[in-house]
Amino acid sequence: MTNAILEPVAAPVVASTRAALYLRVSTPRQADQDLSIPDQRRQLEGYCLSQGWEAAAEFVEPGVSGTDDRRPAFQEMIDAAMEKPPAFDTIIVHSFSRFFRDQFQFEFYLRKLMKNGVHLVSITQVLGDDPASEMMRKIMTLFDEYQSKETAKHTLRAMNENARQGFWNGARPPIGYRVVEAGQRGMKIKKKLEVDPLHAETVRRIFRLALEGADGRGPIGVMAIACWLNETGIRTRYGGRWGKGMVHQVLTRTTYIGQHRFNRYDAKKGRAKPAEEHAVMEVPPIVTMAEFEAVQRSLKSRSPKMMAPRAVGGSTLLTGICFCACCGGSMTLRTGTSRSGQEYRYYTCATK
């Protein structure tokens, strides 16, 4: 009996896990501390090396909140994960809070990923796939959400108090003002608003136009003011053209009478907050209280909601609510006759 010669059999090639690194910080202050982007990258790359994984992609979010999904890099990562087949096998994060600080959204995206065969791994919160681990993950993400809301509440309280003391909390100031340093408290540099002479004159001019019109011809509306500013070459602070909404915002801002209102708007709910929740910050006024109140009365009288019954129930469609965009005068209905003898109607400025 002859001995059989056995040919060597090659071992099956096992593909390494392809990992996507997701790195996020909420604020520059956090980036300066122990959760900086470079530090997260170093730890995630080290974890991949220890597991024998390939770092196939990296998505960086430098300075956005984890409470919602309006994050460009996050959405780019999700799109790549939902490809058929997915661009990677696993998403790794420093902690689950880097992925989301909203428990509902966390579970929604996690299940979406899992349906396409993509896993999510936290290198500081290693959990299994059993029911107990699932419960622990949900508790962790729920606590992350609670902690985020508590932090936001305390931060807002501190910012409200900062505003009440007359200090600027950041962001772009209203036209007519500029931000200046007002001293240092501990490690923090406090800032205030001061009048910007160049653009403050534009604000005063807008109020004068609303009260007196161009060349003293009588009050004009916001659209007419915007037209006048654009036609005379007066631009916004950043060189743009004026629009109706921008003019209206200037005319209704209490900032210009020395009372800047902070915390006026709830961005998450998309609505204005009640006046009692505002923090009033004292700033140098640009117009007088008498001028401001006179403009508010004028705006109110022009509002369609406040029109007299004759204006709302007039025989013509635009009676009392249509004004000339150039001079602010009322538009009146006139008739004409075409060459064919047919009568037609049109609106024209009553002052012309």
Q: Where are the domains of the chain?
A: 18-148, 166-194, 198-302, 307-349
Q: Which fold has domain 18-148?
A: Rossmann fold (3.40.50)
Least confident range of 83-87, 218-222, 292-296: 218-222
Percentage of residues of the chain with pLDDT beyond 90: 58
Asked whether residue 308 carries a pLDDT value surpassing 80, the answer given is no
Q: Using CA atoms in the order 59, 61, 62, 64, what is the torsion angle rounded to 10 degrees?
A: 180
CA distance 229 to 164: 34
* 57 vs 214, more confident: 57
Confidence band of 310 (pLDDT split at 50, 70, 90): very low
CA distance 215 to 249: 23
CA distance 279 to 264: 8
Asked whether residue 146 carries a pLDDT value surpassing 60, the answer given is yes
Residue 287 has a pLDDT of 96
Asked whether residue 347 carries a pLDDT value surpassing 90, the answer given is no
Residue 218 has a pLDDT of 84
For 31, residues 6+ apart whose C-beta sits below 8 A from its C-beta are 25, 37, 62, 63
Confidence band of 47 (pLDDT split at 50, 70, 90): very high
Right CATH for 198-302 from 3.20.20.70, 3.90.79.10, 3.90.1750.20, 3.40.50.740 = 3.90.1750.20
Asked whether residue 307 carries a pLDDT value surpassing 80, the answer given is no
Residue 320 has a pLDDT of 58
Q: What is the DSSP letter of 171?
A: S
SS3 state of residue 308: coil
Residue 188 has a pLDDT of 83
| Mean pLDDT value across residues 188-211 | 94
Q: Strand 343-349 relative to strand 331-337: parallel, antiparallel, unpaired?
A: antiparallel
CA distance 258 to 237: 20
* 243 vs 32, more confident: 243
Gyration radius of the chain over CA positions? 31
Confidence band of 235 (pLDDT split at 50, 70, 90): very high
Residue 59 has a pLDDT of 96
| Mean pLDDT value across residues 112-118 | 96
Confidence band of 13 (pLDDT split at 50, 70, 90): very low
Residue 346 has a pLDDT of 72
Sequence-ordered strand ranges (E) for the chain: 18-25, 54-62, 90-93, 119-122, 177-185, 188-195, 259-262, 265-266, 271-272, 279-282, 331-337, 343-349
Task: Indicate the average pLDDT of the chain.
Answer: 85
Residue 14 has a pLDDT of 46
Residue 32 has a pLDDT of 56
| Mean pLDDT value across residues 308-316 | 50
CB under 8 A, 24+ apart: contacts of 299-302? 299/210, 299/222, 299/248, 299/251, 299/252, 302/221
Confidence band of 16 (pLDDT split at 50, 70, 90): confident
User: pTM of the full predicted structure?
Assistant: 0.64
Residue 319 has a pLDDT of 57
